[in-house]
Amino acid sequence: GHIVRNWKVRWFVLLQDKLLYYKIEGGKKEPSPKGRILLDGCTITCPCLEYENRPLLIKLKTKTNTDYFLECCSREERDSWALDITGAIHAGHPVQVQELHRMKNSFKLLENISLHHIVERMYDSSAGIKLTRNLEQGNSYKETFTGSALVDWLISNNFAVSRFEAVTLASMLMEENFIKPVGARSTEATHYCNLSEQFLDDSTALYMFAESSKKNTSSKEELQFNISELSGTIVKQGFLVKQGHKRKNWKVRRFVLRADPAFLHYYDPTKEENRPVGGFSLRGCLVSALEDNGVPAGVKGNVQGNLFKIITKNDTRYYIQASSKAERAQWIEAIKPLT
């Protein structure tokens, strides 16, 4: 927001020369746009690292020097939006757009590698990355590691076969806010445009776990629990409206469906932390669409249409609303095989 600096869910529509955004009420976008961003003369920054706890940001600076910060659901979605917005900004320069496509397609996570699994291994007390006290320009930094040490560790643990691949993985770990630069040398590199240049394979560039710098750091046991639950492959994600368990009010939540292990987590898009506010195992769950005629049993408030219900193994009931019948069917079809 421009006046109150809070974060709100908005529905975006990209046109040839502008980006429109709409309010969402009851899971549907309002007919008239809430605002617009003119793309003529815009500059785009992606990834944008200005907010430590929001690694999935795109920053747009308009010709009149107005800054817009837009947060996406995933790295893939962020990169896709950034590519399409950049294409609209540079519509008259096809060579630049082709180069963006080439860079995007060359920067992909290797097959069968989970960033959560890498971080879990990095935390391991015996085989993980060694944390030491390091000096830079007279400043002392505790529990840090160098860029070259992380590259060596990734290769020795078979997460990468070359230093280039290891730098790519390390860049992704920094992008997703698992690790953070410490000190002038590594921090300065994050301002480079090319993703592959933002992490330094250098013995003088310092990094640390992003978790280490937070006041309310989770214990190692809690972190491992979260990682095991959140380590599955993302099958589907998007914004849905969910009924609360206590107040029975309806709120927009970002849902992430994972397999192996099968979990459905939901996030509050207005919160600073990129942590789930709830979630549950899908093993033994029942999922079904609800009738669109009238308000179904168990649903509070005048909420109708595109609803579905999930009943967990311990008989907890979740009532969720999609924005359309097609979206509801897609979610049900994605969840059923995982139950």
Instruction: Give per-residue pLDDT as tens, 282-294.
Output: 989 999 999 877 7
| Preceding peptide of 55 cis, ω within 30° | no
Cα 160 to Cα 280: distance, rounded to the nearest angstrom:
33
d(CA 276, CA 303): 24
Q: Are 48 and 27 in contact (CB under 8 A)?
A: no
Please give the radius of gyration of the chain, using alpha carbons only, rounded to the nearest integer.
Answer: 22
Render each residue's pLDDT in the chain as its tens digit; 339 residues: 877 778 888 999 999 889 999 988 766 788 899 999 999 889 988 777 777 667 778 899 999 999 999 988 777 788 788 888 988 888 756 555 555 555 444 444 444 557 778 888 898 888 899 998 888 777 888 889 999 999 999 988 888 877 887 888 888 888 777 898 988 888 888 766 455 567 888 888 999 998 643 433 344 434 444 566 777 888 999 888 898 876 677 888 889 999 988 999 998 887 766 778 888 889 899 999 998 777 777 787 767 788 999 998 888 899 999 988 999 999 999 999 999
The reported pLDDT for the residue numbered 139 is 80
Provide φ and ψ at 154, rounded to 5°. Answer: -60, -40
Q: How far is CA 185 from CA 48, 142, 182, 192, 204, in A?
A: 18, 16, 8, 12, 8
Which residues make beta-bridge pairs with 321? Answer: 241, 307
Write down the pLDDT at residue 92: 59
Architecture per CATH, domain 10-104, reads as: Roll (2.30)
> What CATH number belongs to 115-216?
1.10.10.10
Domain ranges of the chain: 10-104, 115-216, 227-336
Q: Is 151 helix (H, G, I), strand (E, B) or coil?
A: helix
The DSSP code for 203 is T
All residues at 6 or more sequence positions from 158 whose CB lies less than 8 Å from its CB, including other chains: none
What residues pair up with 12 in beta bridges, in sequence order? 21
The third-level CATH classification (topology) of the domain covering 227-336 is PH-domain like (2.30.29)
Look-up: residue for tokens 């927009």? 252
Query: Degrees (nearest 5) of the Cα angle 163, 169, 172?
Result: 145
pLDDT, residue 333, reads 95
Rounded to an integer, what distance in angstroms lies between the CA atom of residue 147 and that of residue 198?
A: 11
SS3 249: coil
pTM of the complete model: 0.41
* Fold agreement (10-104, 227-336): yes
- Residue 193 has what pLDDT? 46
Rounded CA-CA distance 222/181 in Å is 24
Report pLDDT for 108.
46
107 by DSSP, 3-state: which?
coil
Query: CA-CA distance, 208 to 307, in Å (whole number)?
Result: 44
**Strand 263-267 relative to strand 67-71, pairing:** unpaired
Residue 325 phi, psi dihedral angles, 5° rounding: -65, -40
**Which helix or strand (DSSP H or E) is residue 89 part of?**
helix 75-89
